[in-house]
């Protein structure tokens, strides 16, 4: 049987996904603000917003990888 502390550690490791989702929401909000200010920039802002979202999401994915490794390796 596994050490139950590992499950708690995995749960703590995934907490950083919350922070990254806050950042993602802030990014999207700001991008939409910019889009509504000048709609002709819509295409450019959308593509850079998606890239920014992916970059921010990487942090969450790292934390998820760490928690998966904690669950499956130990």
Kindly list the residues in this chain that would bind another protein in the complex (CB under 8 A): 47, 50-51, 54, 57-58, 61-62, 64-65, 68
Whether 3 and 43 have beta carbons less than 8 Å apart is answered as: no
Give least dist CB 61 to another protein, A: 3
Total Cβ atoms within 10 A of residue 4:
8
Q: Report CA 67 to chain centroid distance, whole Å.
A: 15
Closest to another protein by CB, 9 vs 64, is 64
Helix (H, G, I), strand (E, B) or coil at 2: coil
Give least dist CB 6 to another protein, A: 16
Paired tokens of 22: 């806050």
Give least dist CB 28 to another protein, A: 13
């Amino acid at each position: 049987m596994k050490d139950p502390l590992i499950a708690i550690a995995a749960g703590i490791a995934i907490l950083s996904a919350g922070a990254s989702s806050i950042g993602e929401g802030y990014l999207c909000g700001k991008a939409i603000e910019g889009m509504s200010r000048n709609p002709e920039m819509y295409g450019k802002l959308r593509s850079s917003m998606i890239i920014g979202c992916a970059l921010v999401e990487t942090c969450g994915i790292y934390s998820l990888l760490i928690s998966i490794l904690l669950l499956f390796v130990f």
